[in-house]
Chains A and B, each alone.
Chain A
């Protein structure tokens, strides 16, 4: 048996997330506040799982229109074309630049979906109080947090294109509703990743140990 990990929560202690003051929390129900900065203080953030689920579900809902609706209209002299993300990927692939197509595909389609699945997996395991591969799950979480900031690629590209390609009437680009949903997916998954408390992974492991004890 590994030496028992000391947990602040078990000692009735909690750290203020703002001023980092360690303070003792009474075991009573109700809200607690940091005696120094006055911020709300608790052992674990409230409703972490519920909050994360809500954000993940919202992101999943937005993921559908983000991929179905066109993200951009490219207007040229002869035509106006509305493209979805997948259209763009196909176009890039067909025009021969498959590495670029791959990047866009991964950054815009695969990663958001992978993030959703990863977060969902983490939540489910936490809720099931799984104790298996805790380290791997913690790694997965760090990975989700890490790549979260890079998945706005499409939004950046379209923002640049729309701003720069304004040579009417020769050519112009206009953002379409799809990009809003795509941005929503990205933002919601980042929030979801943020709101998830990785300590929960260890909490269940700890409680399991306790139970075994």
Chain B
């Protein structure tokens, strides 16, 4: 056990391991941990987005810590608190927005609560049925930062990032339009109503519409918009006209637009151009002439059936329309006559010429020139006349036609609304004829005729009664006697029959003596006839023998 001894003798070594001054590799671990920790903290701090407050009327389905703020369906923040405002009138929602979306929190950014909405024009936000409501964000164009916002009650239909253009339509009334009502271009859904408001003066409704790119390029300065809501049924001089858009627009309403083909300018309309919203397609696409000359027509007949908007035709072509139907009082003569104000569209008139090149230079451009032109036509016998447009509805229209025999008229062009000469309508003549016929019919003494007829009928009645009586008597008295007579007659006939049979036997039988005698007598008569014949022949050739006697036969 030398070793043991040796161990005991070995001087005491240090019992504590030597602390080394040099840096141990192991310290990398806490350094890395610290770096990562600090890194995460810094990242968190840097990513700390702004906290915003949004004021809503109601916080439907909004929960702190659960509701997100989404833009284009991407989470950009989370609701951290929902509280009531101090006056309890609305809800203040606090939301933490991600750092990378902080730049979206600008002055005109819009917030709304996205929830499922079902309307006739469509269903939106269905996904929120499952995912819960969220706060939607519509970016603004401003660069001014803001942290407090007022939430919208309804989601905006168009976000400002969507390509397209916005226009303003002025309408008399809203009709069945609403948020999201579709806009149709050739029955294609190309846009929506994004808002409406009563005009400041309360006289019209301003409807904001958005037309998606690329369809917005079809909106030119001459584009016409009209209500495509429901079914447009018009009963006019043209008969029954029904216009409809798609079934959805019948139910939910909509707006259609079109650029009439006759318009020349194809200049695109600027954003927010104001257009008129017409009630129907006809009024919308009807040519809205640059010029419209008003004229007055004073008729001497009833204008029943003539409605405002009825066409004014020239030789059957539409050149204007009836603007107003009223009464005119002539104080001097104390007469009231229907007065019709018509609008004459010279453009339309001149556009009817098939060869435009020729007519263009002579097309009268000033009012005076047009008046001269019209005066010439009036001199040729142009007259206005009421005509029946539709025999069923009795709608009338104004027709200009030539009546060469019409008396010359000088139109007072100086007046603001010159009066054009009229011609009593064929309608009136027709009525007159009918009246005449009716009068004649009226003259027929139907009363007297009736009385006479009545008398005759009474007499006839009596006669018939007499006849009846007579017949009754015959029936009662004569018939039995006649029966007896007939029986007697029958008997008599039978007796006669028997007698005749006997007579046959006595007279006609071949052995009957009477027969013998008869034969002889007949022979006698025959010879006598022969002698007479000879005599007659002789008398024929010798008529003198009647006086001189029979001549002696010459030897």
Contact = CB atoms under 8 A, between A and B. Distances in A.
B264 interface: no
A10 B29 contact: no
Contacts of A42: 17
Interface stretch (B7-15, B378-386, B395-403, B457-465): B7-15
Contacts of B40: 65, 69, 177
A54 B29 contact: yes
B33 A46 contact: no
Given A10-B13, A11-B7, A62-B33, A47 B132 contact: no
A12 B3 CA distance: 11
A31 to B, nearest CB: 12
Interface string B204-243: 0000000000000000000000000000000000000000
A188 to B, nearest CB: 7
Interface residues of A, number: 40
B26 A207 contact: no
A198 to B, nearest CB: 14
A154 interface: no
Contacts of B19: 50
Given A11-B7, A43-B17, A169 B24 contact: no
A79 interface: yes
B32 A58 contact: yes
Interface in B83-138: 130-132
Interface string A174-196: 00010001001000100000000
B33 A81 contact: no
Contacts of A10: 7, 12-13, 15
B293 interface: no
A61 to B, nearest CB: 4
B20 interface: yes
B13 A206 contact: no
B132 A207 contact: no
A188 B36 CA distance: 15
- Find the residue from B24, B29, B33, B67 having the highest chain A CB count within 10 A: B33
Nearest to A43: B17
B261 to A, nearest CB: 52
A109 interface: no
A58 B29 contact: yes
Nearest to A126: B16
Contacts of A65: 36-37, 40-41
A207 B66 contact: no
Contact of A47 (B20, B68, B130): B20
20 contacts: A9-B13, A10-B15, A12-B13, A46-B17, A47-B17, A47-B24, A48-B17, A50-B19, A50-B24, A51-B24, A51-B26, A54-B26, A59-B33, A61-B30, A64-B37, A65-B37, A79-B63, A81-B66, A181-B37, A210-B15
